[in-house]
Amino acid sequence: MKEKILGVLGGVGPLATVYFAKLLVEMTKADCDQNHISSIILNHSSIPDRTEYILDNTKPNPLPVMSEDAKMLERMGADFIVIPCNTAHYFYEQIQKQVNIPLVNIIEETVEYALKNVPSLKKLGILATKGTISARSYQRACESRDIVPVVPSIQDEQALMHIIYNQVKAGKKVDFELFMSIIDTTKNDGCDAIVLGCTELSVIKHDFNITRPDIIDSMEVLAKRSIELCGKELAVTI
C-alpha cells in the first residue's frame, strides 16, 4: 500500500507547529523510525496574523499566502493537509478550493470528538482567540450537532488574548493561575467539557502537564486524526 504523506501548513504560530510535530511522534505507536508517519512541515511564520484580519479586513490578508502554501504542499506530494491553528480555519473553505487533496478541519474534528467521547454532552465551553470566537467557527460546529457552545466573557476573552499573544507567542512566562481560573469559570457555566480551541493553549496544557479529562485539546485531536489518516496505529488514547 502506498505510503500516505501528511502536509502541515504551519507557522500559525511557529511554536504550536513544532509542538504538533512532537505530538505526531509521541502519539504514534512505533518501535523504529520506519513506523512513524511521513510529513512535510512548512513552518511559514511570516503569514499575516489571522485574528487581526478577521477583526479588521483592512489588515494584511493571510489567505493568499496560506493558499500558496497549500498548493506547495500538494506539489511536494502531500496526500492531505492539516493546519495546526484554529483561527486559520476561518479561511478553510477558500483554501480547500485551491487544492485537490483534503484539508482536515480541526474544528469539525474536535467537536465531533467531543460528541463521541463526552457522555451526555449538552454544553461545550470554547476557549479560543477573539478571531475564532468572532468568526463563530466553533459555535456553528456545535449548533449543527445540537450542542450549546459557551464562550468566555469579554473580560476572560481579553485575558485569554493576553495569554496567547503576550505570553505564549512572545515566549514569556505564562500566568498559569489566570489560565486555570478562566477554565474553571467556563466550566462553572454548566459546561460538560472545555475545548482548548487555540493551539497556543495546547502548548500550555503540555508545559504544565494538565491531565483533566474534561479538557479537550484540539491539537491532540488533530494529531490523532492525522495518524489515523496515514494508516498508523496510535500509541496513546486521548
Question: Residue ranges of the domains in the chain?
Answer: 5-105+221-229, 106-218
Q: Please report the pLDDT score of residue 198 as a whole number.
A: 96
Whether the Cβ atoms of residue 11 and residue 167 lie closer than 8 Å to each other: no
Catalytically annotated residue among 142, 191, 198, 230: 198
32 a catalytic residue: no
Choosing from 85, 142, 191, 230, which is the catalytic residue? Answer: 85
Residue pLDDT, tens place only, 127-150: 999 999 999 999 999 999 999 999
This prediction's pTM: 0.95
198 catalytic? Reply is: yes
CATH class held by domain 106-218: alpha beta
CATH code of the region 5-105+221-229: 3.40.50.1860
Rounded to whole angstroms, the Cα distance separating 216 from 118 reads 10
Phi, psi of 81 (to 5 degrees): -125, 140
Amino acid at 35: N
Q: How far lies 215's CA from each of 32, 42, 89, 126, 197, in Å?
A: 31, 28, 21, 10, 10
Domain 106-218 in the same topology as domain 5-105+221-229: yes
Question: Left, alpha or beta for 6 (phi > 0: left; psi -120 to 50: alpha)?
Answer: beta
- Residue segments in the chain with a per-residue pLDDT below the cut of 70: 1, 238
